[in-house]
Amino acid sequence: MRVTILGFYGGYPFAGIGTSSYLIETGTYRLLLDCGSGALLELEKHCDPLQLDAVLLSHYHADHIADLGVLQYYWQLHDRRPRRSILPIYGHQLDQAHFQELTWPHATQRQAYLPTQVNELGPFELSFLRTVHPVPAFAIRIVERATGHALMYTADSAFFPGLTKLAQRADLVIADTNFAANDQRKHWHLTSVEAGRLARQAHVSRLLLSHLPQTIPPEQLRQEAQAEAGTNVTVLLPSQGQSLEI
């Protein structure tokens, strides 16, 4: 499968770069993982948004769903949309107000994922784990059924041991790395060192830092994460539009 980074900042877009969103493709299947600010403009550079097969949302914070409304309008109003085709949007049901809004008449249909079991979605198997965050949010392990290749996405979360279990031996971990190593405040995201520790403890080969802060040099975060992760892990920084093969 291939992962394309559509946006990688946490909280708000900055200097022309959007917030969390990733396009995941295998064969002709296209899954949009989170739909942050700027996602639709970047998505158009890589595929026709009408060719998405599904959208999958980790949680309903604005930096993960900011472009969802305009994606729904795109599907509703675009005159090239195939008649009667409806885009499924998968989310959790722990916030009913947001969950209900995933349906937009004649355009998108809300679908609940079941966090306690393995969910089949197209060519993927999805496993979920509730994270430590101010609102319900789910880390997601996405396994390509045909190859067994695995992507683990922490979504937004403070560090806790369950993340390590869900990430075990994944081919790529995308980690919410919103703070530097020396940040001692209580926070709802990983520090660079915690992202590195997650990768080391889970025996993953590649760690992509994402959900980055706007005010800390990314290379500093990378070096801090790499020092903790050890030499068996390659720590990567994101760039908008970049694709990674898994």
Which stretches of the chain bind Zn ion, using CB under 5 A? 10, 61, 63, 156
Instruction: Pick between residue 50 and residue 135 the one whose CB is nearest to Zn ion.
Output: 135
CB 36, min distance to Zn ion, A? 8
- DSSP-H helix ranges across the chain: 39-43, 62-65, 68-77, 96-100, 161-167, 192-201, 218-229
Cβ at position 189, least distance to Zn ion in Å: 8
Q: How far is the CB of 128 from Zn ion (least distance, A)?
A: 15
Q: How far apart are CA 124 and CA 41, in angstroms?
A: 26
Kindly give the residue spans of alpha helices, DSSP state H, lying in 146-230: 161-167, 192-201, 218-229
Residue 75 or 138: which CB sits closer to Zn ion? 138
CA–CA dist 168, 200 (Å, integer): 10
**CB 58 to Zn ion: min, Å:** 8
Cβ nearer to Zn ion, comparing 1 with 3 = 3
138-149: buried (b, 16+ CB within 10 Å) or exposed (e) per residue? bbbbbbbeeeeb
Give least dist CB 53 to Zn ion, A: 24
Q: How far is the CB of 179 from Zn ion (least distance, A)?
A: 13
Residue 14 falls in which region: left (phi positive, over 0), alpha (psi -120 to 50) or beta: beta
Between 189 and 200, CB nearer to Zn ion: 189
Question: For Zn ion, which is the closer residue by CB, 20 or 226?
Answer: 20
CA 178 distance to own-chain centroid? 14
3-state SS assignment for residue 236: strand
Nearer to Zn ion, 10 or 122 (CB): 10
H-run or E-run covering 183: none
